[in-house]
Structures are given as structure tokens and as C-alpha cells.
Structure 1
Amino acid sequence: MHIPFVSDALYRRKLRRELINAAHHDYYRALNENEALHAELRALREQSTQVLKAGADMMAENTAITQAALDLANAFAKSGSAFDIAPSLTCFEVDAMARLFAAVGRTDLARKWLEDHATEDTEAAYLHGIDDDGKPIDLDDYLVTLAA
């Protein structure tokens, strides 16, 4: 038997229940997605914290290395050090010293070491002043290439 008023009310109640169930389903699905996004965000925050800590450690290490290089440059900046020591070193060794001095901003000292090293070079062995084509090299250009 079909009673129109009761049947419509039952049908509306059924639709309301389906709508509520669908809303609950969407709500809980959104909560699950939100929870997953928060977990991903926590993981990303942890990773960024680790990267920041590693960067801070690296900067502290670089600061210590730079300070040690500056200390070395200051120790070898004494008036006679370059003149006494540089001529007895190989070109490769003097280049390494000059590169270090130029890297910490002491191009004046790098220039001095290169110049004092070259005092003992014969013209044929003068590595620092001649390029591959036999043309003279500007010492400032050479220092720029060492510091790069």
C-alpha cells in the first residue's frame, strides 16, 4: 500500500540519511588527506632543519678554514718570508700559496710571493710570466686566474 504523505516523508528521510552519510564520508576523507599533508609537512620541516644545521656546520667549518688561511697569510706576510722562501719552492707550490692568499683577499701577498719566486727563475723557466704562445702574462690577470 502506498500512502503518499508517508511515502514522501520516508523518501525524504532516506535522501537526508544518504546526504548525511555522503557528507560524513567527504569530511572524514578530507580529514585523512589533511592528516597525510600534515605528516608530509612535518617530514619536510625535519628535512629543512637538517639542511639548515648542515649548512650552519659547513659555514662554521668554512669560517674556521678561512681564518686559518688568513692566519697563514699573516704569518707569511712578514717582510722577508716571501723573499727567503719563495725562490726555493717550485712554481706549483708558489701557485698554491698565491692561490690561497688571493682566495682570502690577500692579492698583495700573492703578488709578492709570485714576484719573489720569479727572481730565481731563468727566462726559459719563468712559468708565471709567459703564456702558452710565448707572450708575456699580466701578473694581475694571472692572479685573477689563480683566485678563480
Structure 2
Amino acid sequence: MACMKLGAKSEAFHREGQTWLCTTGLPSDVIIQVGEMSFHLHKFPLLSKSGLLERLIEESSGEEGSACSLQLHGVPGGAKAFELVTKFCYGVKIELTALNVVILRCAAEYLQMTEDYEQGNLIAQAEKFNDMLKSSTLLQDALIPWP
């Protein structure tokens, strides 16, 4: 199956029950609830890639040094898609595949992960991979002999 690998870092997260924790050694400064799953993260990797998260974090940031808490409702693909999006934001290795590209593209759109925030952001990467899939399907169809 075709896939596109994004990111270079090894795994930077671990799961404890219904909670994903970042293992960078720095305390998290934002907690995002997606469905039943809680993600303890850092603002900067999210702000640099997501227009929606930038706006929500800005609106809900309180005292300096206190963690910001957000609830995201309606994330396409739910917590599983958000987990992959989060890994993308941190530069952790993820694979785009024919099975996940559409839902990741939808989640990236929901989170406003456009080129305005970073060149090669997730919307562009998902579109690039989807175009590659379409091209390979067209090529395969062209090479299959007629009956």
C-alpha cells in the first residue's frame, strides 16, 4: 500500500489510560479534550500550525504559567485523528496512507492547518499524497490491458 512518511522525530508521546502525555520533559501548558481522550501538550507546536488552536488558546489563556484547557467537539476522526495531527505538529513520524489521508485532510481543515501557518502544513501534505494516489490509480488503469 502506498504511504508517505512525514516527520523525523521518534515517538514523543505515551498513553496512560485516556490521557496522552508528551515526553519532552517540559510540563504541558495546554490540555485538549477530544471525546473521551485528554491530550497534555505544549502551545508552541500547536500555535505554529493550527489557526483554530491559535485562536482558541489565545481566547482561553489565563494567568501566566497556568495551563490552558480546551474541549474540541466535532473533530473529524475524533481522538485518533487528533493524535496523528498532534504528532505531525511535533514533527513526530506519521504515515499518510490511503486509509487515513481523507480523515487527516478533514481534521486538518477543521483545525485550519493551512500554508498561512507553515509551508508544507498538513492540508498541503494530505492533498499532495491524495493527488499521488489518484495519479497512481490512473496510471494503473492505463496499464491494465483491455479485456
Of structures 1 and 2, the one with the larger relative CO (CA 8 A, separation 6+) is 2
Name the structure with the higher strand share. 2
Name the structure with the higher helix share. 1
Provide TM-score, normalisation by structure 2: 0.25
